[in-house]
Structure 1
Amino acid sequence: MAGKLIANLIVMGSTILGRAMLQAYRKALDNANKTGVAHEAINNIRRASKSMTEQEARQILGVSENSTWEEIVQRYDNLFERNAKSGSFYLQSKIHRAKECLETVYQKDKQNEPPT
């Protein structure tokens, strides 16, 4: 009898707690939408994903504006492999992002060139 009573109390208590947490979450979302915090957070995420500039990418890879795409890929492979051996995942990710950034620049330049 006591076990059944304890089980019922646990179930009722967890139900009440779950409802309270859901209500608090909904209220937090409402408040975030009213104050504009949610919109600002989304904008910050978008900005952070596009934060590397072409100049920064060139500095990371150690290439100039006159470098060919083949030179950039060669430099990328060299730096990426070096950091794979030393175990620096952070540097590997920066090197990869730099290559991605320059890749979009070179693709745009290639599309803008007149056909020969």
Structure 2
Amino acid sequence: MAHRILAQVIVTGAQVFGRAFFQAYKQAAATSATQTANAAREGGLSVEEACRILHVEPQNLQQVEVAKRFEHLFNVNSKEKGGSFYIQSKVYRAKERLDNELAKNSPPPPPGEAGASPTPS
């Protein structure tokens, strides 16, 4: 009789822990998928990593400096000059990430300025 109760306790405990483990796994998988999607959307680089690749300071990030460093590093690493396509693609992704960051942090142009789309009447 005691072995029967012990077996039921073990089976019930295994079921409880199994369900808890499965729920935790589902939650971790969902979180991981979200983080992967966010990283892919932003080029897979952090702002700090992109700044290190392009050799610019993250504190005083300017579009002109980013473009200048990108041009230099992209041209130096071209296949025609014996450079690395991998490094060239890293430079491109870094510029893309910093461009996104600058666009996100820059205020929208005031209405009526050059480049602003006219409002329909």
Query: Residue deviations 1:19-74, cap 9 Å, x none?
Result: xxxxxxxxxxxxxxxxx7xx799668635524200000000000002132101100
User: Which ranges in structure 2 are unaligned for 5 or more consecutive residues?
Assistant: 1-25, 112-121
Percent identity over paired residues: 36
Offset, 1:108 = 1.0
Q: Quick one: distance in 1 between partners of 2:64 and 2:33? A: 36
Q: Quick one: distance in 2 between partners of 1:66 and 1:113? A: 20
TM-score, normalised relative to structure 2: 0.53
Choose from 92, 96, 99 the match for 1:100: 96
Residue identity in the other structure for 2:54: L
Q: The residue matched to 1:74 in structure 2 has which SS?
A: helix
Cα 1:68–1:55 shift into 2, 3 Å: same
Listed as ranges, the matches of 1:11-50 within 5 Å are 46=37, 49=40, 50=42
Structure 2 residue 47 is matched with structure 1 residue 54:
yes
User: Which ranges in structure 1 are unaligned for 5 or more consecutive residues?
Assistant: 1-35
Q: Quick one: distance in 2 between partners of 1:69 and 1:104? A: 11
Q: Quick one: distance in 2 between partners of 1:69 and 1:107? A: 10
How much is the aligned-residue C-alpha RMSD, in angstroms? 2.8
Q: The residue matched to 1:66 in structure 2 has which SS?
A: coil
TM-score, normalised relative to structure 1: 0.55
